[in-house]
Structure 1
Amino acid sequence: MNYNNSARYRRTPQRPECGLHEDEPVIPQSKLQKEVPSFPLSVFPTAIRNIVETLVEFEHFNVNFIAASMFTTFAAAMGNRWTVRFSATWVERPIMYVALVGYPSCGKTPLLRLALSPLLNLDHEYDREYCAKLKAYKQWGAKSPKERAALSLPEEMERPRRRCHVVVDATIEALIGAMRDNPQGVILYSDELESLFANFNRYNSSDESYFLSAFSGTPFKYIRKSADEHIFLPNPYCSIFGSTQPGRLAKQFGGERVVNGFSSRFLKVYPDITDMPTWGTERMPDGVMEQWERIIRKVVTFDFKGKEQPMELTFSLEAHRKLCQWKESVNNAI
């Protein structure tokens, strides 16, 4: 299947006005027009690759957007339950900060929601379960000790907590509560990253610093004196997933955010889109998104036979060698 767009509509790469490049020499246009690499679908198992290719063929989604969206959702479904060991002292979790970059109406928002739909559906089920438990808790709280004894109700009852996988444009305080209630981890979803970044430092001057540390899964302690609440997260997992537009890159990821490493933490999916998505007349085969739902649910509910510790994966010698070669090539390029 050919995903390359026609060169007839190829746009000239935009250069940010400030922030990302300072005192940059003028580069000849012939050197700027290099082919933008596409997402390597070969990294996916056959089942997921087939879903991506079907969505590209019948829904006319951009292959890079949909592949990266599913990759990020899969990582969020894994959460804290899997780790990978790079070396004797370095163990990593699949925490990802991802930004889809494209012009308005290029098909970013539908893909975000489509990829996250299995986790959102699970959250809907959790919410119904939470509401039922909360109702029972309130009924219990309205009864006297004698009435509870007569009805064989427990003497003590803990208020239920609302579990979720997807947090939408939340404050740091709400995000920490969500991670406490779901130790497996959460993904912070922001349709427009501009709204998320605009809230940075609005309530607390350390919001951006928190996300700098959270990318590495650094243990976190939160104390809210007003409610006498102490929360300790030994293994916080929070991915970030959203979209933005090319003209916002310099403001959102330039300047100080280049210096402090915030920009580098984001994987920016910025394909060279020359044609806006079209509306096809052919109907997508049945069961495609149901298959995606089954895959993500299986990852989320994978049974570790009662083991509380995450499953640690290791690299084969060949895979580790390739990773080291890639890292060396990146360092040399920098």
Structure 2
Amino acid sequence: MKAAITPEGIICEALRCKNALYEGAFPLHVFPTQLANIVRATNECLNFPVDYIASSLCFTISVCAGNLFAAKVKEGWTERPILYVALIGRPGTNKSHPLSFALQPLFNYDNQMAVLHKTRWAEYEQAMSLTKKEREEQGMDGIAEEPVQKKFVISDITPECLAFVHDGNKRGICLYADELASWFKNFNRYSKGSEEQFWLSVFSGKPIIFDRKGMKRSISVKHSFISVIGTIQKGILKELAKGDRNHNGFLDRILFVLPENLDKQYWNKKELDAHISHDWQKITQKLIDREYSVDESGNPISKEIRFESTAMQLLMEWQHENTDLCNQELDEQLGGIYSKLEIYAIRFCLILQIIRWACDESGLDFIDETSVRGAIELIAYFRKTAQRVQGIIHESYSLEGMPTDNIKLYRALPDDFETAEGIEVAATFGMSPDSFKRFLKDNKERLFENYKHGKYRKITSL
């Protein structure tokens, strides 16, 4: 029996096709209409890859939310929307511009606060130049402490300096590194492993306490909130996995954004409507301007948002499936990544609920089923990109030291091929059939799996 054709069905199918055209692998349809339109417009007019701009917008919302919100899974278990994000692509694939566009509202806020801080600092210095009696006479006796500059975005600073900034911005901050390599390459600047351990700790929102000799004052942040975002080239991924980072859980904490199509795009003559940037500023401003209470130490009191019963049931069903995947996965690194994705699933549930509230499509009383379904789709995307990244890293190690021609041949081969097909590809590189067969034999189990007589599968592929 054929399904009845209805107007609603036609509209839904049209929207599904439209989403598929724009988003590719990234599930853009999980975003509210207003945010999805920003992604589509910047993709059409500015050639922003959907994956890059969508992930960057999502990241910015999470930073605006900061410590103001927490998803409450159960008593004693809450998650704040902390994200570590890496946009991957070769030079010229338009990674930096989408990120800058997404972060612009935070830059605007920081610039405004910098001007205000300059004024307040001048007032503070003037007050400190006076005696106590003179300050009282001039009505400046209330200026007793150094003014603290409010900001959201920081770049390339040590944990000590970062903690100092965070202490004055307990709502939350983010580390923005246009070249993410500058972040992790400096981990051992002063003491081996200390900075890496710092980032492992703040990923979970653990307290920051610094009380060292020579510091102006001790630093105490009850709930740390430091998200990280930046760009990285494919060739640098191997550096990111160096040392223990592919084994101690550090790499598991990074969400990799890797579009399927990384071809450089032609310029076009389409102009971006002014309302697009205005809409984005308005969405983020709703969060930035949200009032909140603080405790006696100045730490924000988070609004804890529970899950609706049906939403929690859906999330638990997904967690059971994910647990089975973890237990079945033979690759230890992938197993660790799948496990960390459970934490990110909760965080994305919260982020999507906040995004939908900021776009006037939902409330903040509970995390509902729509946000959970969207989070599950986002996690499916990041699971796939994690698998691809691990493949790139493993390939880098497997191909290390091989002649350039052999590397090119390996990359030209299909993921699955028969010996005859491989011989044809090898011929284009000037390699004889006997030499190719020897190449297969020498690299069996290292680069190729001989899963059936005369049939091979690349062990690591992009």
TM-score by length of 1: 0.85
Which structure has the bigger radius of gyration?
Answer: 2
After TM superposition, give the deviation of residue 305 of structure 1 in Å: 7.4
Corresponding position of 1:181: 168
After TM superposition, give the deviation of residue 316 of structure 1 in Å: 1.9
- Residues 83, 281 of structure 1: alpha-carbon distance in 2 compared, 3 angstrom cutoff: same
RMSD: 2.1
User: Deviation digits for residues 204-261 of structure 1, max 9, x if unmatched?
Assistant: 4311001001000011211221135311111110000111011111220355112110
Is 1:76 the equivalent of 2:63?
A: yes
Task: Work out the CA distance in 2 between the residues paired with 1:173 and 1:327.
Answer: 37
Higher helix share: 2
Match for 1:314: what amino acid? R
Task: Work out the CA distance in 2 between the residues paired with 1:163 and 1:156.
Answer: 17
Is 1:92 the equivalent of 2:79?
A: yes
Map 1:230-269; keep pairs closer than 5 Å: 230-269=218-257
After TM superposition, give the deviation of residue 178 of structure 1 in Å: 1.3
Corresponding position of 2:130: 143
Higher relative contact order (CA 8 A, sep 6+): 1
Of 314, 318, 334, the residue aligned with 2:310 is 318
Task: Work out the CA distance in 1 between the residues paired with 2:271 and 2:161.
Answer: 41
Corresponding position of 1:291: 279
- Residues 214, 274 of structure 1: alpha-carbon distance in 2 compared, 3 angstrom cutoff: closer
After TM superposition, give the deviation of residue 304 of structure 1 in Å: 4.2
Corresponding position of 1:272: 260
After TM superposition, give the deviation of residue 275 of structure 1 in Å: 2.1
After TM superposition, give the deviation of residue 90 of structure 1 in Å: 1.3
Gaps of 5+ in 2: 1-17, 330-462
Task: Work out the CA distance in 1 between the residues paired with 2:283 and 2:92.
Answer: 29
User: Deviation digits for residues 15-40 of structure 1, max 9, x if unmatched?
Assistant: xxxxxxxxxxxxxxxxxxxxx97221
SS at match of 2:218: strand
SS at match of 2:211: strand
SS at match of 2:175: strand
Task: Work out the CA distance in 1 between the residues paired with 2:165 and 2:20.
Answer: 39
- Residues 316, 42 of structure 1: alpha-carbon distance in 2 compared, 3 angstrom cutoff: farther
- Residues 124, 237 of structure 1: alpha-carbon distance in 2 compared, 3 angstrom cutoff: same
User: Deviation digits for residues 173-226 of structure 1, max 9, x if unmatched?
Assistant: 111011101110001000011111121120243110010010000112112211
Corresponding position of 1:65: 52
Question: Which stretch shows the higher mean deviation, 113-122 or 84-93?
Answer: 84-93
Question: Which stretch shows the higher mean deviation, 244-253 or 219-228?
Answer: 219-228
Of 138, 141, 157, the residue aligned with 1:170 is 157
Task: Work out the CA distance in 2 between the residues paired with 1:160 and 1:228.
Answer: 14
Gaps of 5+ in 1: 6-35
SS at match of 2:139: coil
SS at match of 1:218: coil
Is 1:42 the equivalent of 2:24?
A: no
User: Deviation digits for residues 93-116 of structure 1, max 9, x if unmatched?
Assistant: 000000001111101011111100
SS at match of 2:52: helix
Task: Work out the CA distance in 1 between the residues paired with 2:34 and 2:54.
Answer: 13
Paired residues of 1:3 and 1:63 also in contact (CA < 8 A): no
- Residues 244, 149 of structure 1: alpha-carbon distance in 2 compared, 3 angstrom cutoff: same
Task: Work out the CA distance in 2 between the residues paired with 1:194 and 1:83.
Answer: 30
Q: How many pairs align?
A: 304
Matched-pair identity in %: 33
SS at match of 1:272: coil
Paired residues of 2:293 and 2:301 also in contact (CA < 8 A): no
- Residues 2, 146 of structure 1: alpha-carbon distance in 2 compared, 3 angstrom cutoff: closer
SS at match of 1:203: coil
SS at match of 2:184: helix
Question: Which stretch shows the higher mean deviation, 46-55 or 222-231?
Answer: 222-231
SS at match of 1:86: strand
After TM superposition, give the deviation of residue 156 of structure 1 in Å: 5.7
- Residues 315, 330 of structure 1: alpha-carbon distance in 2 compared, 3 angstrom cutoff: same
Paired residues of 1:39 and 1:68 also in contact (CA < 8 A): no
After TM superposition, give the deviation of residue 157 of structure 1 in Å: 1.4
SS at match of 2:219: strand
